[in-house]
């Protein structure tokens, strides 16, 4: 493999968790395993996770409900459900909650590995040289931003912030999420700093204040649309 991907598994069946972990590690992936959703959010803050493999029948909270919660919090990591809830309506519900793939139990381990490779190949942002949304282009090689093909001078912080918004287009990102992922939750950083920085960024990419790239969501945070 060109690079090591990190996969986080949530599976309350210890034998199944051990089996999945063994085969994924054998393929060269870094694997983090949990038997419940407890402490998963903390792990996602500390680790650069590339894929979540989630059972649906978990203790404390059903897997699709937990995924819905993560999506509402702005977590955009790809997710594959691996579940014995295998009726058509169960699978439909899983995708509606935000999963990227759905593997029914019992499953063939080779199929799991093929699907994991396919998701990582399709969703990896690590190899992107450029990303685009509407008329904004970000070039990661030169660290330059363009609006309507016009270069816009952004600070490092502004570039990272705009990149995060574009990668999470149409998802609401709350201020705590932005503090953790852009400011790394520095103790001297207040929520007001987020507002000030976003307002400065908006003025740079939307001089005439008519495009509404980044909109405030009252009482929560912001969304790029």
Q: Can you give the CATH number for the domain in which 76 is found?
A: 3.40.50.2300
Query: What pLDDT does residue 129 have?
Result: 65
Query: What pLDDT does residue 170 have?
Result: 86
Range scoring the smallest mean pLDDT among 71-80, 161-170, 186-195: 186-195
- 141 and 114 in a common domain: no
ω into 77 cis (within 30 of 0)? no
Residue 198 included in any domain = yes
- 59 and 37 in a common domain: yes
- 164 and 84 in a common domain: no
Query: What pLDDT does residue 20 have?
Result: 95
- 113 and 24 in a common domain: yes
Query: What pLDDT does residue 219 have?
Result: 86
pLDDT at 10 over 50: yes
| DSSP code per residue over 191-208 | HHHHHHHHHHHHHHH-TT
Domain with 72 in it:
6-123
Percent of the chain residues topping a pLDDT of 90:
56
151-169 mean pLDDT: 91
Query: What pLDDT does residue 186 have?
Result: 59
Residue 1 included in any domain = no
Query: What pLDDT does residue 7 have?
Result: 94
Which H/E stretch holds residue 132?
Answer: strand 130-133
Of residues 4 and 168, more confidence is placed in 168
Query: What pLDDT does residue 207 have?
Result: 92
83-112 mean pLDDT: 92
Query: What pLDDT does residue 92 have?
Result: 93
Query: What pLDDT does residue 211 have?
Result: 93
Q: What is the dihedral of CA 61, 64, 68, 69, to 10 degrees?
A: 20
- 201 and 155 in a common domain: yes
Query: What pLDDT does residue 15 have?
Result: 94
CA distance 144 to 154: 8
**Is 0.85 surpassed by the pTM of this model?**
no
167-195 mean pLDDT: 80
- 112 and 10 in a common domain: yes
Contacts 24+ apart (CB under 8 A), 196-204: 197/157, 197/158, 197/161, 198/161, 198/222, 200/158, 201/154, 201/158, 201/161, 201/162, 204/152, 204/153, 204/154, 204/158
- 139 and 113 in a common domain: no
- 18 and 108 in a common domain: yes
- 84 and 170 in a common domain: no
- Per-residue pLDDT reduced to its tens digit, 32-50: 999 999 999 989 988 889 9
Last residue of a domain, one of 123, 152, 184: 123
6-26 mean pLDDT: 93
Residue with tokens 């509407």: 134
Query: What pLDDT does residue 1 have?
Result: 31
Query: What pLDDT does residue 47 have?
Result: 85
Last residue of a domain, one of 54, 88, 123: 123
- 105 and 160 in a common domain: no
Query: What pLDDT does residue 212 have?
Result: 93
Query: How many domains does the chain contain in total?
Result: 2
Residue with tokens 């903390």: 42
pLDDT at 188 over 80: no
Last residue of a domain, one of 70, 102, 123: 123
pLDDT classification of 97: cutoffs 50, 70, 90: confident
């Amino acid at each position: 493999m060109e690079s090591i991907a990190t996969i986080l598994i949530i599976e309350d069946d210890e034998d199944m968790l051990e089996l999945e972990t063994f085969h994924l590690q054998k393929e060269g992936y870094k694997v983090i395993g949990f038997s419940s959703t407890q402490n998963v959010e903390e792990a996602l803050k500390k680790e650069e996770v590339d894929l979540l493999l989630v059972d649906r029948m978990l203790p404390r909270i059903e897997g699709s409900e937990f995924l819905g919660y993560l999506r509402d919090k702005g977590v955009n990591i790809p997710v594959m459900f691996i579940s014995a809830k295998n009726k058509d309506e169960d699978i439909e519900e899983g995708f509606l909650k935000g999963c990227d793939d759905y593997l029914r139990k019992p499953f063939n381990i080779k199929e799991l590995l093929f699907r994991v490779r396919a998701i990582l190949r399709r969703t990896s942002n690590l190899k992107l040289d450029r990303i685009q949304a509407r008329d904004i282009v970000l070039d990661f090689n030169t660290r330059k931003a363009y609006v309507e093909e016009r270069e816009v001078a952004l600070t490092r912080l502004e570039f990272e912030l705009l990149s995060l918004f574009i990668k999470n287009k149409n998802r609401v990102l709350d201020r705590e999420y932005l503090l953790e992922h852009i400011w790394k939750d520095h103790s001297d950083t207040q929520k007001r700093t987020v507002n000030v920085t976003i307002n400065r960024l908006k003025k740079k990419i939307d001089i005439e204040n008519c495009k509404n790239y980044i909109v405030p969501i009252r009482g929560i945070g912001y969304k790029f649309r």
